[in-house]
Amino acid sequence: MSDTAQSILETVRRVVGDRDGFVPLHEPEFAGNEAAYVADCIETGWVSSVGAYVDRFEKDLAAFTGVGHAVATMNGTAALHIALLLAGVKPGDEVLMPTLTFVATANATAYAGATPHFVDSESETLAVDPIALERHLAATCEMRGDQCYNRQSDARIGALIVMHAFGHPAKLDELVALCARWHIPLVEDAAESLGSSYKGKHTGQFGLIAALSFNGNKVMTTGGGGAILTNDPVLAKRAKHLTTTARVPHRWNFVHDEIGFNYRLPNLNAALGCAQLERVPEMLARKRVLAQRYEEAFAQLDGLRFLSEPQDASSNYWLCTLLLDRADVVVHEQVLEALNDADLMARPVWTLMHRLTMFANSPRADLACAEDLAARIINIPSSPNLVGPPGSGQ
């Protein structure tokens, strides 16, 4: 084991303390009304995609994020798929997105019949680099009327997806301005950033539309689940229609006026979400304590840094992240091996999208920074229970 791997292992152990057994990367925590609300669904029989908890969850989620409308979906990928359709993405379009993202971003684009067009990230936020993107657009794209086109492929640029990596908000002011200049709809992949804000405003409000995820490893969970966020009431109404198989409301008849999707979140999952959302502020507070402890502990080590929230942003620290000072595949693997061998779950960033077989021929910008980051990023245990149970003060 290298000195770097040994030092990181010892530091993580010191921060998380003595733990029996395996320490997950991020595990769910059920310490509130989860069991009571789920039991209520079972007792009343309202367990599927219609029920009071679905309506309540959407209302509570909109209030928590400050957005005008929230539409609950069966998972975050479904939310992103519908968000792209509502942003106007059509078959044959290209959708700009970071290569440094989870595969759902690219998959949702493919579901819409569009092609991912991969762009680079920057090292402060790990999100889309607005300067590099502007340079790439100027070199490869042109305006035809009020639409942006790729000169090389002749495809329309249907949208830009910005993903807030590990809960750290992207440089949204710059990206919003860039999209306005190039007439490109902005879609926020906010799957990881519930509870994160940029200049005092919750993520998911800067683009035309956004998607959230409530997978079991997120800040809060509904088991599976996601949501569409928008401030546009027309888009919100259409999102609910499309995700409910495009059924025309009627007391008993089943009439569908277009091809829709069976994407609604079941009431059973929404009940879990209502209880979890009640506890999000407290869980976020403990996650920030954990991040602060990591940051202070790793400040003593050379050769790496703890990824802190970007300037002008407040991060949820969904995943706590280390960045090696330089790309070193050998050291990177040694650190991951040492932590996982010690039952401290750690992982690298996802395989970059342009390296996946199904997207290998997709258009791309210069991806030098993302390539470099992929050999430097290490995610370490990030669960709120690592600083004690609710109210413990640990």
pLDDT (average), residues 131-145: 98
Write the pLDDT tens digit of every residue in 218-257.
999 999 999 999 999 999 999 999 999 999 999 999 999 9
Closest CA to 86 of 189, 227, 238: 238
Residue 391 has pLDDT above 80, yes or no: no
| Residues 6+ away with beta carbon under 8 Å from 253 | none
pLDDT, position 106: 98
Architecture of domain 3-28+281-387: Alpha-Beta Complex (3.90)
Distance between CA atoms of residues 386 and 287, nearest Å: 8
* H or E, element range at 72: strand 69-73
pLDDT, position 389: 65
Write the pLDDT tens digit of every residue in 258-312.
999 999 999 999 999 999 999 999 999 999 999 999 999 999 999 999 999 999 9
Q: How far is CA 172 from CA 12, 65, 98, 179, 310, in A?
A: 32, 16, 14, 10, 11
Same fold, 3-28+281-387 and 34-276: no
* Banded pLDDT at 377 (limits 50, 70, 90): very high
Residue 392 has pLDDT above 60, yes or no: no
- 207 token code pair: 């683009």
Residue 136 has pLDDT above 60, yes or no: yes
| Residues 6+ away with beta carbon under 8 Å from 89 | 95, 109, 112, 114, 158, 159, 185
User: Residue 232: is it exposed, middle or buried by C-beta count within 10 angstroms (0-12/13-18/19+)?
Assistant: middle
Taking phi over 0 as left and psi of -120 to 50 as alpha, with beta for the rest, 153 belongs to alpha
Residue 394 has pLDDT above 80, yes or no: no
Architecture of domain 34-276: 3-Layer(aba) Sandwich (3.40)
How many other C-beta atoms can be found within 10 angstroms of the C-beta atom of residue 15? 19
| Location of structure tokens 């996982």 | 340
* Banded pLDDT at 393 (limits 50, 70, 90): very low
Least confident of 268-277, 281-290, 335-344, 383-392: 383-392
pLDDT, position 388: 72
Q: Where are the domains of the chain?
A: 3-28+281-387, 34-276
Write the pLDDT tens digit of every residue in 17-55.
988 899 999 999 999 999 999 999 999 998 887 889 999
pLDDT, position 390: 59
What DSSP character marks residue 386?
A: G
Q: What is the mean pLDDT of the chain?
A: 96
- pTM metric for this prediction: 0.95
What DSSP character marks residue 128?
A: B
